Structure 1
Amino acid sequence: MNPRYLIINCDDFGQSKPMNEAIMQLLEERRVSSATLMAPAPGFEEAADWCKRKGQTNVGLHLTLTSEFDAVRWASLTGHPSLHDESGHMHKTVEAFERHADTGAVMKELAAQYEALRRFGIQPTHADNHMGSLYGMATGRSHIPQVLRQCAKWKLPFRLFRKVHPADPLLSSIPGVERIVAKASSLAGVMGVAIPDYLLSHPFHIEEGETYELFKQSMIGKMYDLPEGISETYIHPAVEDSFMLERVPHWEKRVWEHKLMLDDDFSYAVKDAGIVLTDYDYIRKYGRASRIGSAFILIRELLRK
């Protein structure tokens, strides 16, 4: 069997103090591969300053265009009206963002978020996207070509994927997902942007009847079913916090994700399954596809009816 590599990324670093506390612990104890920083969020400066003081090198950029929770909201860094709702914060839903955001304003905002990390002396290892707002999943209005062009300029890998794992309940259920993935991944190849082979998702919310033990067994099962190649999975870990638990939907799931990374059963399963934990530096070195081959795939997909 060929090696199976896995990146475990902590999304939403900088969202709030309870998330920062959990992610800092997991990074310091090397329980995860990396984390991605949310530059517009209220906990960003705390998280970025910690990364600078600790010399943390496995931190990326969580491109943030939405602000979904009433209890924790934020505005854009650039202040363009199309990026905000009537409250003056970033749009709460991906659909609202896709319908209202000006593309030029989006790109200026992404550049400002990148520069926010650089001001703290942080060179991002990669970029990904909060809530998938740039992918066009709500209305079909995608910013992926522009984002890939920007990542090529920054020389950063980006969270896309080449293949859909059939056992992934979320991604495999999207109509026409194979063609969508083929177009996006081949465009990344043409632009020289490195990406993983697979993205492994799991429900953000607590499903009916779900307990921590059921969640843990589900995640352990994914480790034994991991496909060959380079996969990424993402978590949103947080510590227990009464304010957040009361005001943020499914906060308990975030606490579970933190607990899972510290759970000896999960650590054992990763080793027992023969998985090699890696990070986006490995993607940067080995995650690029042939530009010529990618161009042929892209042309084929664009010509298909």
Structure 2
Amino acid sequence: MIEVLVNADDFGLTKSVNYGILDSHKYGIVNSTTIMMNAKATEHAIEIAKRTPSLKVGIHLVLTWGTPLLSDVPSLIDDSGHFKKQGVVYGEPADISLLELEREWSAQIERFLEFGLYPSHLDSHHHVHGIENFLPVVKNLTEKYQLPVRNAGKHFAGVQTVTDVFLDDFYGETVVEDYFQNLKGRVIDGQSVEIMTHPAYMDEDLMQVSSYNSNRLKETRILTNARLPEGFILRFGINQAI
């Protein structure tokens, strides 16, 4: 038997994203989501999380979109006060202060805790937690908050990961009708697997903040109709009240 975590990234990005994730959970196979704590619809997402305890909610740590929660993290921002772009962070990760990064990511986790919920796990926007330079910060956060993290590869040996295997190819051109039926043979029996998804409905806010938009609507349709193949079961979780 193979346990499956179908995670919807970007919870909180816009209300249309939140509703797409909710419907993909209520009527489909999404059983987990991760929330951005610095986004326009974050509090709307929190309301949904509190009303939907069957949806596991983790934290989508942010370093490459929007603005930080803290005001004194100069190595994380550009001249406009926004987080540095994805290409800049990946190109020059050594320019990021690990102390500032840990403080900012801790602030994002603490903001979630302030709403009276406890996160199920951690991952990150644009997979930045997987940058090897940031591994000390990831280790500190997983130990401090006793949380598993999205499996980012071989250098995560010794870090508690939420699943054994992580698949990030349900995205863009590979968002296809039979994706989930074709999981057989990709994961070894007895392992657990996380599949990254981005369901959403369309609205003006989403068009303004993300270049990945129309495929999100396609994802929503597929996720609300998909079935897992024999031998695969959904791993369900409950938000824990503090």
Structure 2 counterpart SS, 1:128: strand
**Structure 2 residue 76 is matched with structure 1 residue 83:** yes
**Structure 2 residue 177 is matched with structure 1 residue 183:** no
Whole-angstrom distance in 1 between the partners of 2:29 and 2:180: 15
**Structure 2 residue 191 is matched with structure 1 residue 200:** no
Q: Which residue of 1 aligns with 2:103?
A: 108
Q: Are 1:78 and 1:112, in contact at CA under 8 Å, matched by a contact in 2?
A: yes
- The 1:241/1:84 distance shift into structure 2, 3 A limit, reads same
Q: Which residue of 1 aligns with 2:46?
A: 48
Q: Which residue of 2 aligns with 1:17?
A: 15
Q: Are 1:160 and 1:195, in contact at CA under 8 Å, matched by a contact in 2?
A: yes
Amino acid at match of 1:22: G
Kindly provide the CA deviation profile for residues 6-28 of structure 1, in whole angstroms up to 9, marking residues without a partner as x.
Answer: 11011110111110111122234
Which residue, out of 130, 150, 160, partners 2:141? Answer: 150
| Range with bigger deviation, 42-51 or 195-204 | 195-204
Q: Which residue of 2 aligns with 1:174?
A: none
Q: Which residue of 2 aligns with 1:126?
A: 121
Kindly provide the CA deviation profile for residues 218-259 of structure 1, in whole angstroms up to 9, marking residues without a partner as x.
Answer: 443125644321011110111123564477323111111111
Q: Which residue of 2 aligns with 1:285?
A: none
Whole-angstrom distance in 2 between the partners of 1:243 and 1:14: 12
**Structure 2 residue 194 is matched with structure 1 residue 232:** yes
Corresponding residue pairs, total: 234
Whole-angstrom distance in 1 between the partners of 2:2 and 2:36: 29
User: What TM-score results when the alignment is normalised by the length of structure 2?
Assistant: 0.86
Kindly provide the CA deviation profile for residues 32-59 of structure 1, in whole angstroms up to 9, marking residues without a partner as x.
Answer: 1111111011111111122224445611
- The 1:41/1:279 distance shift into structure 2, 3 A limit, reads same
Determine which structure has the larger strand proportion and give its number: 2
Structure 1 counterpart SS, 2:172: coil
Amino acid at match of 1:134: H
Determine which structure has the larger helix proportion and give its number: 1
Which residue, out of 227, 230, 233, partners 1:273? Answer: 230
Q: List runs of 5+ in structure 2 lacking aligned partners.
A: none
- The 1:55/1:182 distance shift into structure 2, 3 A limit, reads closer
Whole-angstrom distance in 2 between the partners of 1:279 and 1:203: 20
Percentage of pairs with the same residue: 25
| Range with bigger deviation, 196-205 or 220-229 | 220-229
Shift of 1:217: 2.5
Whole-angstrom distance in 1 between the partners of 2:29 and 2:219: 12
Amino acid at match of 1:231: V
Per chain length, whose mean CA-contact separation is higher, i.e. which structure has more relative contact order (CA < 8 Å, sep 6+)?
Answer: 2
Kindly provide the CA deviation profile for residues 114-162 of structure 1, in whole angstroms up to 9, marking residues without a partner as x.
Answer: 11111111100111111111222xxxx521232122112211111116x
User: What TM-score results when the alignment is normalised by the length of structure 1?
Assistant: 0.69
Whole-angstrom distance in 2 between the partners of 1:81 and 1:206: 37
Q: List runs of 5+ in structure 1 lacking aligned partners.
A: 68-73, 162-180, 282-305
Whole-angstrom distance in 2 between the partners of 1:20 and 1:115: 21
- The 1:247/1:94 distance shift into structure 2, 3 A limit, reads closer
Q: Are 2:27 and 2:224, in contact at CA under 8 Å, matched by a contact in 1?
A: no
- The 1:243/1:57 distance shift into structure 2, 3 A limit, reads closer
Q: Are 2:123 and 2:129, in contact at CA under 8 Å, matched by a contact in 1?
A: no
Amino acid at match of 2:117: I
Shift of 1:182: 3.5
Structure 2 counterpart SS, 1:216: coil
Q: Which residue of 2 aligns with 1:295?
A: none
